[in-house]
Amino acid sequence: MIGLDFSSTGEWLRGTGPDSDVVISTRVRLARNIAGFNFANRAERSEHQQVVALAREHVMSCCERQGLLWVDVASLQPLDATLLVERHLISKHLAKGDRPRAAVVHSDESLSIMINEEDHFRMQVIRSGRQTVDAFTEVNRIDDLLGAKLPFAFHKRFGYLTACPTNVGTGIRFSIMLHLPALMMTKEIERVRRAAHDMQLAIRGFYGEGSDALGDIFQISNQTTLGKTEAQLLKEFDEGVMPKVVEYERRARQVLVERRASLLDDRCHRALGILQNARLLKLDEALRLLSHLRLGVQLGRITGVDPQTIDRLLVLVQPAHLQKTLGESLHQAERTEARATLIRQHLS
Amino acid sequence: MIGLDFSSTGEWLRGTGPDSDVVISTRVRLARNIAGFNFANRAERSEHQQVVALAREHVMSCCERQGLLWVDVASLQPLDATLLVERHLISKHLAKGDRPRAAVVHSDESLSIMINEEDHFRMQVIRSGRQTVDAFTEVNRIDDLLGAKLPFAFHKRFGYLTACPTNVGTGIRFSIMLHLPALMMTKEIERVRRAAHDMQLAIRGFYGEGSDALGDIFQISNQTTLGKTEAQLLKEFDEGVMPKVVEYERRARQVLVERRASLLDDRCHRALGILQNARLLKLDEALRLLSHLRLGVQLGRITGVDPQTIDRLLVLVQPAHLQKTLGESLHQAERTEARATLIRQHLS
């Protein structure tokens, strides 16, 4: 209905990019607002509608890409809206809002533009693995194209103006989705948290704000966007933060292999055994086990399991995806059973 | 060294007897003392030695059975003594004592006689499944044979005299080893505990006194031996207690099959998945999983696993057995790994 293949996953979860043993994906996001309009949280309904209309007129044409889909979020069925959230194409905030709003997504899911979320435009480009420069180049290109059509609110001294002061300036946010099972297993994750804090980075779980690192998947992003150029921020993030965290995790994995091989093998083989046999799997347990399995496969302790299958399952086991896949509305207990069945089918 | 095959298990754990879906084994034990000698706890070392000598002279000859083994418990290596405890052929008390003491065991492990445990003689016959009458007949036969050679302490009014007053009278104790996973899963086990208490039965875990029903295996035995004949006690136990508990468990299993099939299948398939894949297994987890697997196999939810393999593993995963099987002294961490390896080998 939305035009996406929900039984598969987007480009960014293919696990094929550089450093994909640790870096699942890279995302670069820009916040932009149209000059002369109130910010979305201050605007009247009629203004919201005008912003949506302008977006529809210009975004679809200027991006010059095949496969762009216009999604009228306000008219989506709740299940479809949740699907887009689970695929990280739109935010919960956009899905649940009540103002006129929309999203433009590319069918390969490497691009999404939210309209009338916190800002008039939230443009994000996602790439699998570590591809910050590439994602940055692409989102800049779209920004230039769109900016040529629509005048963005910009202040000589402050830079791009945004609804929330934390985004003022470049309006840019880099974020990486990381799989850090070894740092979790060795409990060194706290060191990473402290280091992230010192570097003014935000670190949180991937599956929603409340969920603390389900599946050992973390999202790290820059917090300051003011007082530095986009190029500086990119360099800091791509050459400073990212290699450091990747190295921490790889070192922890090496320690597991060299000094705690039994524990490592126990965790990943158990995970496979349970995933292939359980009849009931709650989301948090499924993600934890998929994480251990992913680690085992990445380290070559387990063979015969396709890494892409695991990454695909990380998305497909979520509630709305399960219901979409099975074409029905399921209670939580039924989902628990359906999730186990789906996983068994993929891993048998 | 003792003459038993420790890589296998005794007749009583073959799971072939009647009602073996629930009743693992039946045991009938008699406590006897030689007239004119102090009870073991009051006797001098020289008296202990005389009792051992009399036992050696008469027990081995009178029992008229091929395959009887004389075990000088005091001279056993600690590992071998623990092996006999793990197979329930001798008690911890006998293994750890410091008085002259011995045991006579049959190589098929269906008979064991402890000498200088709490009483001069503790004779027990064990059968797989529900075979109370058969076990009773056999232990009586041995009692008669031995009693014809050695005068047992007997009082006209009280009956057989024993070191502890709880055994005075018939000196008989019936006990059954039960596998009650469904009652555990449905939490109805508490009803059974209360019922056992009301019927003056003792109920405890199988793997030692302290361990509360590891592997969902319970031992139920009569507590009173005074004021009733052996035949009365037998009838009460075999026709009253045993069928009642068996029925409770079977009903609970039926409830699981009819109303909670997903939970049941999840538990037993998960158990198989973990047992076939884990690299580290502590004793309590191994027993819990073997219990769930046993339930799944008994109810036909899992096929392709030999029930006897499971029952054999219930013994073989114990610490001393692991060390004996592997022919070395293992630390706890090594046992955890060796246990997982052994189980994988048996269940692959």
**Model pLDDT for residues A268-284, shown as the tens digit of each residue:** 999 999 999 999 999 99
Bridge partners of A201, per DSSP, are A222
Q: Which of B266, B270, B279 sits opposite A265 (nearest CB)?
A: B279
* Whether A274 and B279 lie within 8 Å, measured CB to CB: no
Report the pLDDT value the prediction gives residue B240, as an integer from 0 to 100. 86
Among residues of chain A, what percentage have pLDDT more than 70? 94
Q: Is the pLDDT of residue A298 over 90?
A: yes
- The answer to whether A102 and A59 are in contact (CB under 8 A) is no
Give the model's pLDDT for residue A104. 95
CA distance B42 to B58: 23
Distance CA B280, CA B286 (A): 9
How much is the pLDDT for A145? 92
Q: How many CB atoms lie within 10 A of CB B319?
A: 17
Name the residue of chain B whose CA is nearest to A337's CA. B262
Point out the residue among B263, B272, B337 whose CB comes nearest to the CB of A280: B263
User: What's the CA gap between A268 and A272, in Å, rounded?
Assistant: 6
Residue B64 banded pLDDT, cuts 50, 70, 90: low
pLDDT at position B207 is 62
Domain with CATH 3.30.590.10 in chain B: 11-253
Write down the pLDDT at residue A9.
67
Nearest to B313 by CA among B5, B8, B2, B1: B8
In percent, how much of chain B has pLDDT > 90?
63
B164 φ/ψ angles, rounded to the nearest 5 degrees: -110, 130
Domain topology for B11-253? Creatine Kinase; Chain A, domain 2 (3.30.590)
Tell me the C-alpha to C-alpha distance, in Å, between residue B347 and each of A114, A128, B9, B308. Answer: 53, 40, 17, 11
Name which residue leads in pLDDT, A329 or A109: A109
Whether residues B273 and A273 touch (CB distance < 8 A) is answered with yes
Identify all chain A residues contacting B273, using CB atoms and an 8 Å cutoff: 273-278
Question: Which helix (DSSP H) or strand (DSSP E) does residue B181 occupy?
Answer: helix B181-185
Residue A345 near residue A313, CB atoms below 8 Å: no
Report H helices in chain A. Answer: 45-62, 78-86, 92-96, 132-149, 181-185, 189-198, 230-235, 242-259, 261-277, 283-298, 307-316, 319-326, 332-347
List chain B residues with CB under 8 Å of A269: 277-279
B286 in contact with A at a CB cutoff of 8 Å?
A: no
- Residue A92 tokens read as 């919960």
Q: Pick from B277, B280, B337: which is nearest to A273 by CB?
A: B277
Nearest to A280 among B266, B272, B278 (CB): B266
- Of the listed ranges A116-125, B39-48, B227-236, B286-295, the least confidently predicted one is B227-236
Could you tell me which chain B residue has the CA closest to the CA of A273?
B273
Given a cut of 60, whether residue B25 has pLDDT beyond it is yes
Question: Which of B266, B275, B280 minimises the CB distance to A262?
Answer: B280
List, for residues B67-78, the tens digit of each pLDDT value. Answer: 889 999 999 998
Nearest to A279 among B262, B279, B337 (CB): B262
- The partner residues of A169 in beta bridges, in order of sequence, read A160
CA distances from B296 to A280, B196, B219, B270, B347 (A): 15, 26, 21, 10, 14
Query: What backbone phi and psi angles, to 5 degrees, belong to A263?
Result: -60, -45
What is the model's pLDDT at position A247? 94
Q: How would you classify the pairing of strands A217-222 and A159-160?
A: unpaired
Distances, alpha carbon B108 to alpha carbons A119, B6, B67, B89, B128, in Å: 81, 11, 8, 11, 12
Torsions phi, psi for A173 (to 5 deg)? -140, 125
Cα–Cα dist B112/A77, whole Å: 72
Token reading at A63: 């991006």
Q: Return the structure tokens found at A261.
A: 């091989």
Query: Do residue A274 and residue B278 have CB atoms under 8 angstroms apart?
Result: no
Separation of first and last alpha carbons in chain A? 30
From chain B, the residues in CB contact with A277 under 8 A are 269-270, 272-274
Report, as an integer, the average pLDDT of A181-199.
89
pTM here is: 0.89
* Confidence check: pLDDT of A1 > 60: no
Shortest Cα distance, chain A CAs vs residue B271, angstroms:
8
Amino acid, res. A158: F
**Which of B128, B185, B95 lies closest to B14 in space, CA to CA?**
B128
Judge whether A273 is closer than 8 Å to chain B, CB to CB.
yes
pLDDT at residue A16, as a whole number: 73
**Pick from A273, A275, A279: CB nearest B265:** A279
**Could you tell me how many CB contacts below 8 A there are between chain A and chain B?**
48
How confident is the model over A305-321, as a mean pLDDT? 90
Contacts of residue A263 in chain B, CB cutoff 8 Å? 280
pLDDT in tens, A124-183: 999 999 999 999 999 999 999 999 999 999 999 888 999 988 888 889 999 999 999 999
| CA–CA min distance B325, chain A (Å) | 21
What value does the mean pLDDT of chain A take? 90
Instruction: Classify residue B18 by its DSSP letter.
Output: T
For chain B, the C-alpha Rg in angstroms (whole number) is: 21
Q: How far apart are CA B227 and CA A272, in angstroms?
A: 59
Could you give the percent of chain B with pLDDT greater than 70?
94
**Average of pLDDT values for B257-261?**
96
pLDDT winner (highest mean) among A328-337, B59-68, B92-101: B92-101
Beta bridge partners, B27, equal B126, B175
User: d(Cα B113, Cα B147) in Å, to the nearest integer?
Assistant: 14
Interface contact B273-A277, CB threshold 8 A? yes
Q: For residue B186, give Cα distances in angstroms to A155, A182, B293.
A: 67, 37, 16
Instruction: Please indicate whether residue B224 or residue B124 has the higher confidence score (pLDDT).
Output: B124
In whole angstroms, give the CA distance from residue A159 to residue A34: 14
- Burial pattern B23-35, b for ≥16 Cβ within 10 A else e, equals bbbbbbbbbbbbe
Q: Please give the Cα distance from B223 to B238 (Å, whole number).
A: 14
H/E run at residue A220: strand A217-222
A155 near A161, Cβ under 8 Å? yes
| Contact check, Cβ <8 Å, B262/A270 | no
Q: What is the distance in angstroms between the Cα of B21 and the nearest Cα belonging to chain A?
A: 23
Contact A337/B at CB under 8 A = yes
- One-letter amino acid of A84: L
User: Is B337 within 8 Å of chain A by CB?
Assistant: yes
Q: Cα separations (Å) of B313 from B7, B177, B275?
A: 10, 16, 11
Strand partners, B173: B29
Query: Which whole number is the average pLDDT over B315-321?
Result: 89
On the question of pLDDT at B63 being above 90, the answer is: no
Single out the residue of A143, A139, A144, A150 nearest to residue A56, CA to CA: A150
Comparison of pLDDT for A230 and A30, the residue scoring more? A30
Task: Give dist(CA B280, CA B284) in Å, integer.
Answer: 12
Q: Which of A279, A302, A303, A335 to mutate to test the interface with B (most CBs of B within 10 A)?
A: A279
In angstroms, the separation between the Cα of residue A276 and the nearest Cα of chain B is: 7
CB contact under 8 A, A279 and B273: no
Residue B326 above 80 pLDDT?
Answer: no
Enumerate residues 251 to 270 of chain B having a beta carbon within 8 A of any beta carbon in chain A: 262-263, 265-266, 269-270
Using the Cβ of A286 and the Cβ atoms of chain B, whether some distance falls under 8 Å is answered with: no
Residue whose tokens read 């986009």: A230
d(CA B265, CA B251): 17
User: Contact at 8 Å (CB) between A157 and A169?
Assistant: no
Of B263, B279, B337, which is closest to A269 when you measure between CB atoms? B279
- Say yes or no to pLDDT of A64 above 70: no
